[in-house]
Amino acid sequence: DGGITQSPKYLFRKEGQNVTLSCEQNLNHDAMYWYRQDPGQGLRLIYYSQIVNDFQKGDIAEGYSVSREKKESFPLTVTSAQKNPTAFYLCASSIGPAAIVYGYTFGSGTRLTVV
Amino acid sequence: QKEVEQDPGPLSVPEGAIVSLNCTYSNSAFQYFMWYRQYSRKGPELLMYTYSSGNKEDGRFTAQVDKSSKYISLFIRDSQPSDSATYLCAMSPNSNSGYALNFGKGTSLLVTP
């Protein structure tokens, strides 16, 4: 079955550490996105990529970095510069930028906690 | 002021009730309106999308857009316990800006047997 796989489901980070969240899709989607979800805040866009080897900052990119070396993969690194990283992180993909008609396909998320 | 406002609830209704979920927005450029459903500890999934004003029906779900009032609604008829989830509205000014979706905070719905 096609879909998006995020790993790990739960991740604990010590202060000052960088951690990388994995996102893999086998839907042959061109566009991929990273969102952060906090209680009472809704979804906020961190980074997006519309094509391999290209990505753009979203609304809250500070303290995060991404790469898009393969169509299937869009890992997110949460750096030590991100002051409040505890959140639920969602990866999504869409058929090109036309996410309106076909919608995003979301992964099941990674819950990151700073300890 | 956020561009999209949505009451977070929680909203609790008995099984079989008609549920009304709503969002308001401030950006008159929004043309595409979507509803996503998110079960606990899962990613959201697209329920419906509508373009501009009007109604759209899909089974027990009806999406309604009133652009003059900048107000959108999702109605769920004959609600079931399996409808218990968080419902997020999302909006975009055009169909080719997948990166430009504006999400509401989500409304938590509980349907009790």
Give per-residue burial for A31-54: e unless 16+ CB within 10 Å, then b: bbbbbbbeeeebbebbbbbbeeee
CA atoms of A79 and A67, how far apart (whole Å): 14
Q: Where are the alpha helices (DSSP H) in A22-114?
A: 99-102
**Residue of A45, A101, A111 lying closest to B99 (CB–CB):** A45
Q: Is A55 on the interface with B (CB under 8 A)?
A: no
Q: Is A94 on the interface with B (CB under 8 A)?
A: yes
The reply to whether omega before B8 is within 30° of 0 (cis) is: no
Interchain pair B45, A103: CB under 8 A: yes
User: For residue B17, is pLDDT > 70?
Assistant: yes
Of the pLDDT bands very low, low, confident and very high (cuts 50, 70, 90), residue A97 is low
Mean pLDDT, rounded, for B85-92: 94
**Residue of B6, B8, B92 lying closest to A100 (CB–CB):** B92
Mean pLDDT, rounded, for A63-90: 95
pLDDT of residue B1: 54
User: For residue B86, is pLDDT > 70?
Assistant: yes
pLDDT of residue B99: 67
Mean pLDDT, rounded, for A31-58: 92
pLDDT of residue A42: 84
| Residue B98 phi, psi (nearest 5) | -60, -25
Of the pLDDT bands very low, low, confident and very high (cuts 50, 70, 90), residue A100 is confident
User: For residue B94, is pLDDT > 80?
Assistant: no
Average confidence score pLDDT of chain A:
91
Q: Is A49 on the interface with B (CB under 8 A)?
A: no
**Residue of B8, B46, B99 lying closest to A58 (CB–CB):** B99
Of the pLDDT bands very low, low, confident and very high (cuts 50, 70, 90), residue A15 is confident
Alpha-carbon distances of A78 from A36, B39, B50, B70, rounded to whole Å: 11, 25, 35, 36
DSSP-derived letter for residue A40 is T
Cβ pairs bridging A and B (under 8 Å): 75
Tokens standing for residue B88:
């997020």
* B51 Cα to chain A: minimum distance (Å): 9
CA-nearest of B66, B32, B71, B72 to B49 is B32
pLDDT tens, position by position, B28-81 = 989 889 999 999 989 999 999 888 888 999 999 999 999 999 999 999 999 999
DSSP-derived letter for residue A101 is H
SS3 A55: strand
Q: Is B101 on the interface with A (CB under 8 A)?
A: yes
User: For residue A55, is pLDDT > 80?
Assistant: yes
pLDDT of residue A6: 97
* B105 Cα to chain A: minimum distance (Å): 4
Average confidence score pLDDT of chain B:
91
Tokens 């409040």 locate to: A84
HSE-CB of B96 using CA atoms within 13 angstroms = 0
User: For residue A101, is pLDDT > 90?
Assistant: no
pLDDT of residue B97: 63
pLDDT of residue B6: 94
Q: Is B48 on the interface with A (CB under 8 A)?
A: no
CA atoms of B101 and B90, how far apart (whole Å): 6
Q: Is A45 on the interface with B (CB under 8 A)?
A: yes
Interchain pair A98, B42: CB under 8 A: no
CA atoms of A104 and B101, how far apart (whole Å): 10
